Amino acid sequence: MISTAIADLWYGFGVALEPHNLMYCFLGVLVGNLVGVLPGMGPVATISILLPLTFGMQPVPAILMLSGVYYGAQYGGAICSILLNLPCHPPHAVTCLDGFPLTKQGKGGTALGITIIAAFIGASFGITEMIFLAPFLVSVALKFGPAEVCSLMLVGLLAGSTLAKGSPLKGIAMTVLGLLVGIVGSDIETGQPRFTFGITELFDGVEIIALALGMFGIAEFMNSINNTETVDMKYAKVGISDMFPSKADLKLAFWPMIRGTFIGSLCALIPGTGPTIASFVSYAAEKKISKTPERFGHGAIEGVACPEASTHSSVQGDFIPTMSLGIPGDTVMALLLGALIIHGIVPGPQLISQHADIFWGLIASFWIGNILLVVLNVPMIGIWVKLLSIPYRYLYPSAMFFVCIGVYAASNDMFQVGETLVIGVAGYVLLRLDFHPAPVLLGFVLGPRFEENFRRSLLISRGDLTTFVQRPISAFFLAICVLLIAAQIYVWLHKPKILVENKAIEAQVPTTPYSELAG
Amino acid sequence: MNGRFKLKRDYYAGGLMLLLGVGAAVTGTGYKFGSLARMGPGFLPVMLGIVLAFLGILIAGTALASSEPDHKKFLPDNPQWFGWLCILNGPVLFIILGEYGGMIPAIFACVFVCALGDKTATYKSSAILAAGVTVFGVLLFHYLLSIPFPLLRGINL
């Protein structure tokens, strides 16, 4: 198995190193790194804006570039947290706790250096995990019939909505809303237009870009306009020479990095627990096993190394369920899945065999992209720090233009711009009512495939609903669903100690003027 | 409203979901429902609508049952009516001017109006930003990516 994996990987490097693909991978990580640094811009909005521009491209470079934005943004996000104490990117919010005190002590450069090393170790492990685990998952998933796919999607949807931040009930409600939005358009089997209200433009369904940019773009700008603090650049002075950590720091940070990597890679495998949860869990764990827990919060280098490693390993691992099963774990993955579908690639277990160039090329590009990011971040740190001081009043109007033209370019139709606007206002209303928009996108992307498989499995069983329980794999997934719901009810009734502790850490993290959407 | 009954945001949240759910279910009944073995296009919309309405009741219900007060309001503490108006009008102008004017006026108006929404912005600073973004946008989208969107309608540039 190892030898085939290495041979496949070799092939992947061949794909990823084609000059054309390499260029787009570089472009992706560069743009990702850039938006990661900019406060108030997130990978979701960026990928949505870039998505229409990839329509004319081959699928391989398109996917390499869009993925690059996602992991590239993680490298940039930490800079904001460490130097400015601004958790603009949720996965790096917890890094503020020890990163900013280090900056105040004049060790901000060391913290950034450690972050880059931790990121690379975390990411490398995440990628290795993907190389070996994804083909294994595929070999299992190839046995799935429509009933199994259906139950598996249910697990993905439930986990995505209940394990994320905020009230699980509201999360599920948002998933259902997303499924309903996914229904808009012509029915696949009968052609009957549904929820279109006679608007011809809606017959093709709601545009995924309009949904993502409305919810994560316009709603986000409405939320943060005139609501952002002036950025304090007092401590943000870092030179290249500051970035090389001392031997003592490295020694201190080594094991936390390894532990963080493991926690992150585990979190990646549980659908719905993305990098943000991974970073919080690993910080809490590191504080717990530390011999000197009182140092945490006052500039402990472990408190930077551990969550950063776990974020990056989780980010890379996030791709596993998306690429092997076609079940996205979070918003960015839902968007990438949407991108695959737009490029005419059917997500699911057959992806690896039918589109080996995409799968193995993607994995190889992860390595290349991560090396590029390490190389980029050291000499360019001065530029990134300068970018931090770009005020929000210049950022959001420019971003609004990108939103408008991005949506327009998707179908060369002004109707889509209006659609985005309406979704944006609705998204803001939902946001003010404490509904998180992430599950909407998840439900939207999975909705049509869920309906198709649901119909098909009941057609095969002649309307017998017990088919979902009679087939063992499907029953197993349904059992997980029941377990997820039971766990939520238990947490709601008993409020276990570990969650209270996690809440306490969350409360310490400085609140951000930019809402939690940016991630 | 007495002291014990305070309106919480979750009542609105639950009510909204109930409304959306019932709306979806009612609209869904207009499509062929079918049977379990041969589902029509109306089956899932009706089912999802019912589930959403049920979730709405649960959301409002748990808020009613919980004694924790909700200090946050639906509107933020300092509502930015002018800022919101500017942000929302940017795309509206983009649509109108894009349809009748072309790419250049659309970009300029969109960025200019959006930028005015910031409380520290002046006409001059907004105009400079808008001009800068317009130049960049035209170079990138017209010349580099060549999306089909005339720079100025009626004039062949």
Give me the domain span that covers residue B119: 81-144
Whether residue B3 is contained in a domain is answered as: no
Residue with more model confidence, B115 or A90 = B115
- Looking at the structure, tell me whether residues B88 and B61 fall in a common domain: no
What ipTM score was computed for the predicted complex, to two decimals?
A: 0.89
Burial class (CB in 10 A: 0-12, 13-18, 19+), B70: middle
**How far apart, in whole angstroms, are the C-alpha atoms of residue B157 and residue B143?**
11
Residue B23 covered by a domain:
yes
* Best residue of B9, B27, B35, B44 to probe chain A, by most A CBs closer than 10 Å: B44
Residues B57 and B87 in one domain: no
- Amino acid (one-letter) located at A503: K
B88 located within any domain: yes
Indicate whether B89 and B57 sit together in one domain. Answer: no
Measure A180 CA to nearest chain B CA, in Å: 7
The answer to whether residue B49 is domain-embedded is: yes
pLDDT at A513 over 50: no
Contacts A459 to B, Cβ<8 Å: 37-39
**Same domain for B125 and B87:** yes
3-state per-residue secondary structure call for A93-118: CCHHHHHHHHHHCCCHHHHHHHHHHH
pLDDT tens-digit map of A417-473? 999 999 999 999 998 888 888 889 888 988 888 888 888 888 888 878 888 888 888
Is B18 part of a structural domain of the chain? Answer: yes
Q: Residue A429: exposed, middle, or buried by beta-carbon count in 10 A (0-12, 13-18, 19+)?
A: middle
Same domain, yes or no: B89 and B139? yes
> Pairing between strand A185-186 and A193-194?
antiparallel
What is the distance in angstroms between the Cα of B19 and the nearest Cα belonging to chain A?
12
DSSP assignment of A295-353 equals GTTS--THHHHHHHHHHHHHHHHTHHHHHHTS---SHHHHHHHHHHHHTT---STTHHH
Hey, is A417 helix, strand or coil? Answer: helix
Task: Based on the fold, state whether residues B45 and B94 are members of the same structural domain.
Answer: no
- Cβ contact B84–A421 (<8 Å): no
Determine the distance in angstroms separating the CA of A128 from the nearest CA of chain B, rounded to an integer.
36
Tell me, yes or no, whether B152 lies in a domain. no
State whether B96 and B138 are in the same domain.
yes
Task: Tell me the whole-structure pTM to 2 decimals.
Answer: 0.86
Whole-angstrom CA distances from A469 to A236, A455, A475, A479 are: 58, 16, 4, 9
Q: Last residue of a domain, which of B41, B65, B89?
A: B65
Task: Give yes or no for residue A177 having a pLDDT over 90.
Answer: yes
B124, exposed or middle or buried, with CB in 10 Å at 0-12, 13-18, 19+?
exposed
Question: Mind listing the pLDDT tens digit of every residue in chain B (157 residues)?
Answer: 334 455 678 888 889 999 999 999 998 888 888 887 788 888 889 999 999 999 999 988 888 877 666 667 777 777 788 888 888 999 999 999 888 888 888 999 999 999 888 888 888 888 999 999 999 988 888 888 778 888 887 776 5
Look at A417 and B32 and tell me if their CB atoms are within 8 Å. no
pLDDT tens-digit map of A32-55: 988 888 876 778 888 988 888 888
Q: Are B56 and B91 in the same domain?
A: no
Q: Is B86 found in the same domain as B140?
A: yes
Q: Is residue B150 part of a domain?
A: no
Contact: A226, B58; criterion CB under 8 Å: no
**What whole-number distance in Å separates Cα of residue A94 and Cα of residue A85?**
10
DSSP state of B42: T
Longest dimension (CA), chain A: 70
Whether B86 and B124 share a structural domain: yes
Are the beta carbons of A65 and A103 closer than 8 angstroms? Answer: no
Q: Where are the beta strands (DSSP E) in A42-107?
A: none
| Statement to judge: residues B109 and B136 lie in one domain | yes
User: How many structural domains does chain B have?
Assistant: 2
